[in-house]
Structure formats: structure tokens, C-alpha cells
Chain A
Amino acid sequence: MKNTALRRALTAVAALGTLGTGVLATAGPAAAVTRDGYLDIREFGLFYNSALGGSFIDLYMADGDLANDRFISPGPGQGYAVGNNAASYFNKDKVTWYVYTGAGAGGVEGWIPANYFGTFSTTFKNQVSSVYHFKAR
């Protein structure tokens, strides 16, 4: 799994080199390609560190078990499991995303409006295990 994530990241970096840009960030006009290390419009990003820091994963569709995913983009946390490890988020989608502390929309439910970013609280313990681009419960 980790190797797969690294391969994805290396592919993304190689693609950047081809494009002549060194920035892994929101994309240009291309359609969102999920899990490619670019946070495009219509995607939801989960970051390893607080305040959009470290490696991140970009999701186009719901993911019922983040334990099966790895942070993709270069940076601290790359290759680590996303489940219970995400410290911040950016909803670049046009719709509300829902987050759950349990896999498969179990546990406590939270919602994140379009174009909002933030850090999962450092005051309270919350570990996001699944995310959905719709209300899953």
C-alpha cells in the first residue's frame, strides 16, 4: 500500500516536471483526477499536518474507510494511513462533505461546507475515519 502511494506520488512529481511547474496545489482547468496529489476543484483534501501542512490526499468521491488510503503528495506524512491521521482538510468541492469518526459513516458526524478549510481540533480528540460527498447517515 505504502509503495503504491509512493509510486502515485512519484508519478505526480514526474508529471509536474513535464509540465514545467514545481507546485503541487490546486489544478488548472483539467478535470479533477482523484488521488493524484493535486487538490483540484470538486475534490476534498485531507492533510497529514494541521493548517494544510504536510502530505495530503485528494478525493473526488466518498471513502468509507480511510484506513485503506495513504497520504500521497510529497511532504511529512507521505505514505502514512489517512484514517485517524488527518489533521486538516480543504473542501474544494461545490458540495458539502460529511466526515465521520467511524468507518462506514459510523461514530460522530460532522459537515464541511464547500470552499472551507480548517484544522481538525487540537482542543478535542477527533479521528476521522470516513468521508462522504453526501450525507451518509
Chain B
Amino acid sequence: MRRRPALIATALLMGTGLLTACSPGAPEVSVGAGPVSDPAKVSAAQLVYPLDPYKTTDEQIRGLEKAQDLLTADCMKRFGFTYRPAVRPAPRGKSASSRYGVTDAAAVGRYGYVKPGVSAGPDKPAEEALPPAEQLALSGPPLKAKPGGGLVLPPRTLEESRRTDSGRTVNGQKVPVGGCGREGHLRLYAEKKDPVDLLYVFGMESEAFSRARQSPKVAGAVKAWSACMAEKGYRVTDPVSPQQALGLRSEAEFGGAPAIAAAKQDVACKKRTDLVALWYAAEVGFQNALMDEHAETLKQVKVELDERIRKAASVNGG
């Protein structure tokens, strides 16, 4: 399941010097635990990471959304209501944007810091307010506030939810805690057991990304990138989201002529300093180290993901 290195990956690591990386906080990077993409050959947006097989794909997310809508509708039917799912934006093709900020010379020459096709974002049309009984069935009674701030946690599994009395009924039926919206979620994600945190892999990726950013080689490359940007008068330190430091305050400004000029320099500096390749290689090393450290939980993540996808397919009639 884990993608272990190809020769090219090992060569890539050797090229970046990471195989011998023993700086404080850096993982022990073993020969063979390397990148699966070559940043010289693929765009930053298309790089593949060791944790990718544990992530839910966009297509799988769409299947889960559909299944959850159907399960919510099934619950609402019990109360005599027809559930209207939210209108979702049409899926887009492969993104050209990367986690490392702007990296594509052709795209920035046209769009600057705007993400093509995304920047303005799909609208979120207001929905008609539901009649009170229907609203109650959908979202349940208000959650209780915790003394001192925040909300009391609702039940975490369907079983626990069914044992918990919300204290409200609609059309003779007990309203679930959190309403049919929450029941639809629990039926798909947590019938009997609270699953591993759905953001577990996100957490691992974030940790690897951030540790890599702080590793000496990448920190050095970021400094070099800043110096390169300064050559054209741009005083920035964050290669991922430099817009605010560049004085760009709105989406409209992100695509203006000054933004395009800055973004062009940004991409050129990333290339000159080899920032993406260094960051990627370091990140892969940290991901592999974290994967070894949390192997058991990851195994469970994969089991639950596969079960969830199967269940969604079954609900969706697939």
C-alpha cells in the first residue's frame, strides 16, 4: 500500500542531499524512502506524496456527499418531509494550484495570484427558511452551551445518538440530536464506533509540511527566495501566501498588473532557488517518518475509508 521509492526517487533525494540529512528535527531518511514524483518533470500541483493512498479522492468525496444526502432524505421522510440537498458547484478538472503557492509561469502570467476558475468562488445562494417543524427535524433542537463558552458535544455515534433523547418530537417521531442532518452523517461515518479523526491524514500532512518548511535546507531556500524577491523590491517571507505582504488586499487586486508582475517574479525565484523540489523532498521524508510512527492508526484509517466508500456506493445504488 505504501509507495516505496523508485530508483529515480532515490536519485532525486541524493540530488537534494536529503539522504544524509541529520539536522535537528529532521527524520532519519532511509535509502528507499523517497519521493514518487520528480518535481523537475511534473508541475507542483501534480506531485504525488506517500500519504496520498490514505486520502479520500475528489470523486470519493462526491460519492460520500451523495450518500449522506440520501440518508438525510431518508430520515426526513420519516417525519413526512422531502429533503432538498444543497446545490453543489460542478466538479472542476485537475487544479493548477499547488500547496507551495504560485509555481506555474504560464498561469501567473495570465492570472497573477488568482486561482483560475476558483478565485471568486461559487455563490452560496440563500435558501428559503424552512417551516419550524421541518427545520427542527433537519437540524434538531439547539445544542446546549457549555458554561464558560462553546457547545456541549453531541453524540459521536449513531448508537449513542439513538440512546440520547433530544426531548423533541415532530409528527409523532423523536427528533434525533442534531436532527436528520446529523443522523445522515452518523449513518455513513459512525454507526457504532467513533472513527479515527477524519482530519487525521490532514494533520499528518500539515505536520510534515510544516516540519519540512523549518528544516535547514528548506529554510535556507526560503531565505534565498526572499532575497530573490527583494531584488525586484518585494519584501516577503512567506512563499505560500505572500499576497498580503505584497499589499494585495482583495481578489480583484490578486489578478491586477502589479500582482501579475510580483507573481512572475515569485515563480522565477522559486525556480532559481529550487524551493519546490527541496520542500517536496523534505516533506516526503517527514511523511514517511510520520507514517512509520503512526502505522497502526493509518492502517485503521485505510480500513475505515474503504468501508465508508463501500457503504456510500451501496447507498448510492452502485
Q: Does B296 sit within 8 A of A, measured CB to CB?
A: no
- Please name the residue on chain B nearest to A133 by beta carbon: B124
- Residues of B near A55 (CB, < 8 A) are 149-150
Among A41, A53, A123, A126, the residue within 8 A (CB) of B146 is A53
Q: Does B86 sit within 8 A of A, measured CB to CB?
A: yes
Query: Once the chains bind, are A118 and B144 in contact (CB under 8 Å)?
Result: no
Bits for B282-314, please: 1 = Cβ < 8 Å to A, else 0. 000000001000100000000000000000000
Chain B nearest CB, measured from A24 CB (Å) = 5
Query: Once the chains bind, are B99 and A108 in contact (CB under 8 Å)?
Result: yes
Query: Once the chains bind, are A107 and B145 in contact (CB under 8 Å)?
Result: no
- Please name the residue on chain B nearest to A30 by beta carbon: B129
Chain B nearest CB, measured from A25 CB (Å) = 4
Interface residues on A, range: 35 or more
Give Cα A78 to B150, complex, Å. Answer: 11
Chain A nearest CB, measured from B68 CB (Å) = 6
Query: Once the chains bind, are B129 and A29 in contact (CB under 8 Å)?
Result: yes
Among B100, B140, B145, B189, the residue within 8 A (CB) of A113 is B189
Query: Once the chains bind, are B203 and A124 in contact (CB under 8 Å)?
Result: yes
- Residues of A near B142 (CB, < 8 A) are 23, 25-28
- Please name the residue on chain B nearest to A123 by beta carbon: B203
Q: Does B153 sit within 8 A of A, measured CB to CB?
A: yes
Give Cα A27 to B184, complex, Å. Answer: 19
Question: Which residue among B121, B130, B132 has the maximum number of chain A CB atoms within 10 Å of its CB?
Answer: B121
Query: Once the chains bind, are A39 and B241 in contact (CB under 8 Å)?
Result: no
Give Cα A119 to B139, complex, Å. Answer: 21
Query: Once the chains bind, are A96 and B124 in contact (CB under 8 Å)?
Result: no
- Residues of B near A107 (CB, < 8 A) are 99, 206, 209, 240-241
- Residues of B near A6 (CB, < 8 A) are none
- Residues of A near B95 (CB, < 8 A) are 137
- Please name the residue on chain A nearest to B87 by beta carbon: A95
Q: Which of A102-137 contact B (CB under 8 A)?
A: 102-121, 123-127, 129, 132-137
- Residues of B near A69 (CB, < 8 A) are none
Query: Once the chains bind, are B129 and A26 in contact (CB under 8 Å)?
Result: no
- Residues of A near B144 (CB, < 8 A) are 23, 25
- Residues of A near B130 (CB, < 8 A) are 29
Q: List 13 A-B contacts (CB under 8 A).
A: A23-B142, A26-B139, A51-B150, A61-B121, A65-B244, A78-B149, A96-B65, A102-B99, A105-B118, A106-B101, A115-B181, A117-B153, A137-B97
* New A-B pairs, 12, CB < 8 Å, besides A75-B149, A115-B184, A125-B206: A29-B129, A41-B139, A49-B150, A51-B150, A52-B150, A95-B88, A103-B241, A104-B115, A107-B206, A110-B205, A115-B68, A118-B198
